[in-house]
Structure 1
Amino acid sequence: MTGPQSDGAPRAATVARRPRVALVSSSYAPHVGGVEEHVRQVAHELQSNGCAVEVWSVDRGTGPVVRDVEGVTVRYLPTPLPSGSIGGVGRFLRALPDAWRRWRRATRDFRPSVIHVHCFGPNGVYALALSRRFRLPLVVTSHGETVADDHAVFQRSAVLRTALRRALRRASAVTAPSSFVLDELRSDFGLVDGEVVPNGVDLSLVGDADRSPFDGRYVLAVGRLGRVKGFDLLVEAMDGIDLDADVRLVVVGDGPEQGVLEALVADRGPAERVEFAGRLAPAAVADAMAGALSVVVPSRMEAFGIVALEAWRSGAPLVMTDRGGAPGFVRDGVDGILVDPLDGAALRAAIVRVVGDERLRAALVAAGRQRVPEFTWARVARAYEDRYEAIADGRRDGPGAMKGAAR
């Protein structure tokens, strides 16, 4: 309630100070993927809500530079870590002073009120050190990197395992896109509590089947061509599948497994049924989904699966892996068909069932379209803002005083 001041002017309403957020990501543009898209969308949403935002990303070949990327300041920072060899330790010790200087400079230049790590890796190690050095609140969002990484870095790196445990203990909030990821952090890294903040999708990219870049009848798979994504399982399932001869598999994306997949197609014989289309722009992907008989996500492990939301948005019937976080939001037989992709016969049967049943496809599409408005990037950003505000309201004894996440 406002009242008169001594000069007769109304008292100004108190305006809450907006947070200054450093989104510390394992990767960012020009690289593409689920984490990169998540951080990109969240950065823009937070900015539109009046927050000051910078993205601090691991330098993966750009060099230690600062760039404006679509209106967001992005700092690409070096993240050397020690390895087990004498030479590796020596290289780390030589690189560390410059790397640490650059991370300190980023903190002093931007003056964040919260450090928010996305996809814990070397970026998380440096974020944890900054949180301690500058007494800044730390938020950790895991995207399944401890279990769904092609290179199994957490199995190989004691430094990362130790740093993640310490970061979870220190963090003022810990989130993940699915309860599956939180459960893994609890069982293997000592997390207490934690909260689900699901992924989102850009609802403005509504696919149009008439604009699909592909002709004819096809099943579609989209993603980075890495082993965890299970595209080899899908290629093998297409060998001898009981579908009309004109139905083919189109794979959209690129990545390190592309040569392996092409060799597998040549060896297993379904070359006429498998097309590798490379990477497409997001609008073209939406159109391709709209024209597909089904979108299939055959991942060996999927923390969440933004592709599922994209399929719902574009009106594509979904066949989704049951390994990981999908059972937490995909309703089997209602808005998707859940299947174990390691069971080749079951994967074939799920694809054949969806492709061959027009009424089922229509029902899956209708249910998916009804669900997808629940998963907007605005909601994701708002959930993070709620946590930033709770941290600010409860922070009386420095970072970590309000521990809703891990102890």
Structure 2
Amino acid sequence: MRVLHLGFEDPCMPGAGGGSVRTHEINRRLVAGGFRVTVLTTRYPGWEERVQDGVHYIPIGVGRGSNRLTRLAGYVMRLPFEVRRRRSTTELVVEDFFAPFSTMAAPLWTGRPTIGIVQWLHATEKARQYRLPLHWIERLGVRTHHRLISVSQGIGERLKELNANLHVDVIGNGVDPGMWEIGPKLGNDVLFIGRLERGHKGLDLLLEAWTQASTRISGKLLIAGTGPDEDWLHGAIQDAGLADRVQMLGWLSGARKFRAISEARLLVVPSRHETFGLVAIDALAAGTPVVAFDIPCLREIIPPGVGWVVKAFDVKEFADQVVRSYALEGLEQVAAQGRKFAAGYSWDALAKLQAQAYAAALRAHRTQGSLPGGGKSLFLKELEG
């Protein structure tokens, strides 16, 4: 199948989130199975067109993409034109939803069968943040889609609330294979790893909780990542008097990330919103128990016995749970259960499910009429042969 993936975020961009990891891990497996995949992403300083693991990445936009606004604006302006250029060599368009308004209503203008992948629905939060009606754009955009892939059951239910006629396939995220290569080590520190974004990732809640917990824990709080609120975070750590109890690790990837997660005693996820919680699954695979707030998506992947979820945004309870978990006798058994649970999240299996969803999208389009430009999908011909 020839797939044009509107992927928004390049996994090689510094500070890229888990969504871009999912895009690449799925696509490289589809390519290995015979798909041809081109991904259109935003530009960023140092961007380059490349083929990575067989996946063709083409950053689009205007200029270098040196900040979030220019990346977003350039991508939005160029995307319809770039899709039209590649229409004749595309059988299926895949639209990744992205901030701040989720979807550009791609089925209306791609001219090809289109399926969306939804890793987040945060337009309501962004509407409050920017004081713009972004949630209405999201609502209208979701209604233009007929088939979507959701990374969690919780998001799938919200999508159905926006469009009752949707077909939603729930296909989660997978464990980074490198996590299995490093054995669990119950270390001395507590780790946060992710985008440094105060509201979404709950960094303000984390610092408040750590202020309460740090006097009862011997280890430090390690914070790994980059993001728009990095300067704020440095200042907030100083203002809270936590400079000697918090260590900033910067952006981690590959073996450095694997080691940081496996060597932590606990991973904390203080997010106000999450799409899936990929870092939590990675931590469980590494044998590192997780403490998180009880919010949709996270509660799906942190069942009892592999970690702890506490009442959403109750900072005192979060701090107390970190202290209890840190000192828990038998933490090794919790770690072992986490690894067993995480084994169910295989990128190979998830890629097969996504290939099936793509094939179903083409079949559904065929029953509604021939593909744009006439004829039947080459992929479907081969599948039926």
Q: Deviations over 1:75-112 (max 9, x none)?
A: 22349xxxxxxxxxxxx9xx96x76433211223xx22
Q: CA deviation at 1:183?
A: 2.1
Change (3 A) 1:183 1:162: closer
Aligned residue identity for 1:318: V
TM value normalised by structure 2: 0.82
- Determine if the alignment matches structure 1 residue 137 to structure 2 residue 107: no
User: What is the CA-CA distance between 1:297 and the residue it aligns to?
Assistant: 0.8
2:8 paired with 1:36: no
Conserved 8 A contact 2:261-2:283: yes
2:7 is the alignment partner of 1:25: yes
What displacement does 1:389 show?
Answer: 2.0
Report the alpha carbon displacement of residue 248 of structure 1 after superposing the two structures with TM.
1.0
Q: Are 1:72 and 2:51 an aligned pair?
A: no
| Higher gyration radius (CA) | 1
Q: Note the C-alpha offset of 1:40.
A: 0.9
Q: Which residue of 2 aligns with 1:15?
A: none
What is aligned with 1:116? Answer: 94
Change (3 A) 1:126 1:342: closer
Query: Could you list the per-position Cα deviations for residues 343-366 of structure 1 after superposition, in whole angstroms to 9, with x for gaps in the alignment?
Result: 11110111011101131x222211
Report how far residue 202 of structure 1 moved: 1.9
Identify if the C-alpha distance between structure 1 residues 356 and 123 changes in structure 2 by more than 3 Å, giving closer, same or farther: closer
Aligned to 1:176: 150
The match for 1:322 is: 294
- Identity, in percent, stands at 24
CA drift of 1:273 comes to: 1.0
Q: Is the 8 A contact 1:177 1:199 kept in 2?
A: yes
1:320-399, aligned counterparts within 5 Å? 320-332=292-304, 334-340=305-311, 342-359=313-330, 361-394=331-364, 395-398=366-369
Is residue 2:214 matched to residue 1:220?
no
Query: Once the 2 structures are TM-superposed, how far is the Cα of residue 162 of structure 1 from its aligned partner?
Result: 5.5
Matches within 5 A, 1:273-292: 273-292=245-264
Q: 1:271 to 1:341 in 2, by over 3 A?
A: farther
Q: Distance in 2 between matches of 1:317 and 1:383?
A: 28
How does the TM-score come out when normalised to structure 1? Answer: 0.78
| Distance in 2 (alpha carbons) for counterparts of 1:148 and 1:337 | 27
Question: Does structure 1 retain, via aligned residues, the 8 Å contact 2:191–2:221?
Answer: yes
Q: Which residue matches 2:378?
A: none
Where does residue 300 of structure 1 map in the other structure? Answer: 272
CA distance 1:149–1:118, shift in 2 (3 Å): farther
Q: Distance in 2 between matches of 1:149 and 1:226?
A: 13
SS in structure 2 opposite 1:389?
helix
Displacement after TM superposition at 1:302 (Å): 1.0
C-alpha separation in 2, matches of 1:153 and 1:378: 39
Match of 1:8 in 2: none
- Hey, what does 2:138 align to over in structure 1? 161
In structure 1, the gaps of 5 or more residues are: 1-18, 80-91, 401-407
Aligned counterpart, 2:375: none
Contact map agreement 2:154 2:296 (CA 8 A) in 1:
yes
Instruction: Write out per-residue CA displacement over residues 56-81 of structure 1, whole angstroms, 9 at most, x where no aligned residue.
Output: 22345678x743344321122349xx
Residue pair 2:6, 2:95 contacting (<8 A) in 1 also = yes
C-alpha distance in 1, partners of 2:221/2:21?
25
> Which residue, out of 216, 221, 237, partners 1:265?
237
Q: 1:190 to 1:304 in 2, by over 3 A?
A: same
**8 A contact 1:24–1:117 mirrored in 2:** yes
Residues 204-236 of structure 1 deviation map (CA, whole Å, 9 limit, x = unaligned): 333647999xxx721011001012111221111
**1:117–1:123 CA contact under 8 A, matched in 2:** no
Q: Secondary structure at the match of 1:224?
A: coil
Contact 1:35/1:119, CA 8 A, preserved across alignment: no
Aligned residues: 354
Correspondence for 2:376: none
Instruction: Indicate which of 100, 105, 130 corresponds to 2:85.
Output: 105
Aligned CA distance change for structure 1 residues 283 and 224 (closer, same or farther; 3 Å): same
The aligned residue for residue 49 of structure 1 is: 33
Q: Are the equivalent residues in 2 in contact too, given 1:25–1:123 (CA < 8 A)? A: no
Rounded Cα–Cα distance in structure 1 between residues aligned with 2:265 and 2:54? 37
- Residues 207, 289 of structure 1: 8 Å contact kept: no
Separation in 2 of the partners of 1:107 and 1:291? 47
2:2, 2:92 within 8 Å by CA — same for their partners in 1?
yes
Amino acid in structure 2 at the alignment position of 1:312: L
Instruction: State whether residues 24 and 124 of structure 1, in contact with CA within 8 Å, keep that contact through their aligned partners in structure 2.
Output: no
Secondary structure of residue in 2 paired with 1:272: coil
Distance in 2 separating the partners of 1:317 and 1:273: 21
Decide whether the 8 Å contact of 1:150 with 1:226 is kept in 2: no
What is the rounded CA distance, in whole Å, between the counterparts of 2:40 and 2:217 in structure 1? 49
Q: What SS does the corresponding residue of 2:4 show, helix, strand or coil?
A: strand
